[in-house]
Every structure is written in structure tokens, then in C-alpha cells.
Structure 1
Amino acid sequence: MFTKNDLIHAIKNMGICHTDTLLIHSSMKAIGEVEGGADTVLDAFMEYLSEGLLLLPTHTWANMSETYNRFDSDKEPSCVGLLSNLFMKRPGVVRSLHPTHSMAAYGKDSKEYIKGEEAVTTPCAEGGCYDRLRARNGKILLLGVTHARNTFMHSVEEVLRVPERFTEHPVRFEIVMPDGSIKESQVYRHFNKMSAHISENYDKLAEAFYDCNAAKKVTFGNADCILCDANGIFEVMKKVLAHEINCLIEREVIPKIWWSEKN
């Protein structure tokens, strides 16, 4: 059984700094038995990043629809795991107002970081919460999951204008604002006619990320993890997609020469 000290030691061994901005996609089950359970996992990350910024996705894309379309950040549960649901309810944690791809934040300038998400029209908009990781030299920890859960890659595709990623028309949502008023929002959903879940194709770039030092293998408890550099992920994707903009959907294998130093 892992203790909080064991987990803090694991975070340090990854090369994460106390001042880092860190986004975590997670599988609690993959970690194994922890003394105190999921709360201890959150305690470890929140204490270690006491001078930084800790981010967890609190997505609701599986819940929200054309008929169930009112998003209340204080009440709507996350559809992406136990840790995200516990985290967003903790004292000092704030949650963005994106109706399908909200994010919870804790630490320095957390309120400023998540600001303005009620005004975007796509899941991971350019300049939004996910894209902001680049300006902060942020890191992404895939804790017991793979790039198929790496939402930052959606934001890279948005910045690079990858086609055929959204529904033809936006969905109308209602967002409950902090003062209780209702803001209407029109947001496109992720969609591709060739792939039911676009993100399932993202693991095709795993080798490229390792080769270019944009990601490395680490461990946390029993979980096999991937620690990513946001800017590194962006640059590798930019280089690969320059050869064929929709290669993640249209190709089974991505040619290594597309990201090699010689090319």
C-alpha cells in the first residue's frame, strides 16, 4: 500500500518542480492501493505543487447534449474519473465555465488561468485553457492512461486548423454564471465521419514524442505514466501534420522520417 510520502517521492522523481504548471489525466485504478485512497493522491499533488498550478480536466461532454444543455459548474459531475470529481469540490479549487470541456485549477493565478471559457465556441479553443499550457511551459501527466486521453492534443489540432474535427453546426448550451444569470453558448462538438473517437488515434504519435524528448515514461504507484512537455508535443505534432494534415485519421502508421532530425 502506497503512502502519501511514497507518492510525493514519485512526483519528485519524475522531474516535476514545485513551481510547475501540471495537467493530469488519470486512472485511479491504475495507481493501486493507496493509504487514504484518492484523497491522498490529491493531497500529494496539491502539497507538492504548492508554488505551482495543478490542473485536472472536469469534462462533461458525455453528459451534455442538445436536450440536457444547462451547465452548472457547481453541480455538474465530471465524466472523466474519480480524481477529477473529488478535486473540483476541494477548498480553493476553481472550475472553468466551458459547457463540455471544463477544467479545475488549484494554485497560483488559478482564477485567471481558467478565465473566459464561457465565451469559446469549440472544445479546446486556441488561447483557451488547454492551449495556455504552452505559454506556461506546462507539463501533462498521463497517469495510468495514454495519449488517447491527452486532451491537449485536441487543442494542438485546433491551433493547426486540422479539418474535419467538428460537427457541422454548434450545439446551444446554457451556462450558469457565478451571479446566477444564464449565458447562452454555441459550441461545436468533436466529430469526424471516419473515426467515432478522434483521440483514439493519438497514440500513433507516441513513438515520435519519445524520440523527440517531448515525452518520457515515468511511474506513480503501480501506474505506468507518460510525462509530456506541452511545447514539445506541439512542435512534434506541427512537424508531422505539416506532411499530411489529417494523417492521424487517414494513416495506420506515421512514417518516422516525418519527425526525424534528418528531415
Structure 2
Amino acid sequence: MTNRTTLKSDLHALGIETGDAVMVHASLKAIGVVEGGAESVVAALRDAIGPTGTLMGYASWDRSPYEETLNGAQMAEEVRRNWPPFDPATARTYRGFGLLNQFLADTPGALRSAHPDASMVAIGTLAKELIEPHRLGHALGRGSPVERFVRRGGKVLLLGAPLDAVTVLHYAEAIADIPGKRRVAYEMPMLGPNGEVIWETAEDFDTNGILDCFAIDGEPDAVETIATAYVSQGRHREGQVGDARSYLLDAQDVVSFGVNYLETRFGHKDGRNR
């Protein structure tokens, strides 16, 4: 059975080092049976980065009304009235981004960012710097935890997670100088100063398809397309962590690659690309 010690060894062999800032995307099923379960996986990750490292995950929120309010969609009045406000201290994570994030959020000392739908959880030396501020309208682009993570020289770790999970590439979408980027509007229930619900409207880039050609049902989106192209060039580290086929990507490098990929193929035809 895999345990905390062997996972730490696997992570170091993959390229995780003491002091690293790591954004993890994980499939507990792919990692396999681990002595101590998900808590041991979190502990092994923290062991691998050491006391000076930082661990971050994309938590989101299991009650995010993103789809229910997207682009003017209306909720039933009673449903809207009874929808809970987002409270970073108690909100559960979105299961679709992996169960490990809930264990990370429950770890003593973990901090949660204030954007309900794009909420990040972080623990370690840079945790506070990474997650604050995180305002509506700045989900994964400029001014977001992802931008600060990239600028801090972070590493993206896929533990059995698919290539469409490379969240930092949404930052590449946001900063790439290409025309026709899709935008969306939605509403989020925020916690007011007296515990009341305050619905706030946000506008941001469409993470389900930054361009029309990446928003076709059943076809790869921009993140998966770019990540696949990046890995094909061998600019990453690859290996086994537990039973999981895993990837380690340099955040700055994959974002730079992503921006270039988008601007080269979809940029302005008058030479105004960066």
C-alpha cells in the first residue's frame, strides 16, 4: 500500500523541491489506495515542499450559482431568496475539481480566497499573498491568485488529473492579445457585513470557451488543446506518484507557451501581437 513516505519520495522524483509553490490538481482514484487516505496525500504534498513551501488548489464552491445566473438566466424567486451567501470559512469545495481540495481546505492553517466560483485554497508561506485579494471580475486573469502564483514561479502538479485541468492556462487566455474573446456575466451571493445576502453581478472571460472554436460541445477547449501541445514538446516532467501518471509543469513556461499559441494562431492579422 502507498503511504505518506512513498508519496513524498515519488513527488521529489517528479521534481517537487523544498520551498516550491505548487498548484495541485489530483484524482484520488488515480493515485490509488493510500494508507491514511486523502489526509496522507495532503501531508505528503506538504512534506515534499517543506516548511517554506506553499500548496494551492482550485476549490470553487459546491453552491456556486454560476450556471443558474449565467448571461441573464433567472432563478425562481424562492430559490434565489434561500440561496446561501458565500462564506470562505465554511463553504464546501466543488467536487468536480477533485475531492482532495476539500481535505486541503479543511487542513488547519489553510486560507480560502473570496471569489465564490473561482475560490482558491492555499496553505504555506505564500498563502495569504496568493489568495488576497480575489475580487469578482478577476476570477483567473489579472489580479487573481493565479496571476500571483505564476509570477511567483509556481509549479503545476497533475496527480492523475487530465490535461484539461491546467487552470493556469485560463490566465494565458485572459492576457493573450487576441480578438473575439468570449465574455460572460453572472451573479454571486456575497456575505454582507451583518450576515445578509448581497447579490453582486460580475463580468469575466468565458472559461468554457475563450473563442467560439473552443466552445464546441464534445471538442477540446483551449486549456486541453494548449496543454496537450505543450506536453508533446517535452517541456514538463512526468512520472508515477502512487498509481497515478503525473505531470509537473513550470507555470511561467506553460503560460508563456499558451499566450504564444493563442496569439500566433488567433491574433490580430495586422501584426499587433505582443
TM-score of the aligned structures, taking structure 1 as reference length: 0.82
More helix by share: 2
Change (3 A) 1:89 1:109: same
Distance 1:43 1:62 in 2: 27
Q: Deviations over 1:182-241 (max 9, x none)?
A: 665432363546435887443323453235554232221000111111111112112221
Q: Does 1:103 align with 2:120?
A: yes
Letter in 2 for 1:218: G
Change (3 A) 1:74 1:207: closer
Counterpart for residue 110 of structure 2: 93
Q: Is the CA contact (8 Å cut-off) linking 1:22 and 1:53 kept in structure 2?
A: yes
Change (3 A) 1:225 1:54: same
Q: Is the CA contact (8 Å cut-off) linking 2:171 and 2:255 kept in structure 1?
A: no
Change (3 A) 1:22 1:178: farther
Where does structure 1 lack aligned partners over 5 or more consecutive residues? 247-263
Identity within the alignment, %: 25
Counterpart for residue 260 of structure 1: none
Change (3 A) 1:197 1:42: farther
Counterpart for residue 64 of structure 2: 63
Change (3 A) 1:103 1:73: same
Q: Deviations over 1:160-182 (max 9, x none)?
A: 15533322xx2222322798576
Matches for 1:120-131 after TM superposition, within 5 Å: 120-131=136-147
Distance 1:178 1:149 in 2: 35
Match of 1:242, SS?
helix
Matches for 1:107-186 after TM superposition, within 5 Å: 107-117=124-134, 119-162=135-178, 163-167=180-184, 170-176=185-191, 185-186=200-201
Alignment coverage as a number of residue pairs:
243
Distance 1:143 1:14 in 2: 11
Counterpart for residue 215 of structure 1: 236
Match of 2:5, SS?
helix
Q: Is the CA contact (8 Å cut-off) linking 2:23 and 2:156 kept in structure 1?
A: yes
Where does structure 2 lack aligned partners over 5 or more consecutive residues? 70-79, 268-274
Structure having greater relative contact order (Cα 8 Å, sep ≥ 6): 2
Q: CA RMSD in A?
A: 2.6
TM-score of the aligned structures, taking structure 2 as reference length: 0.79
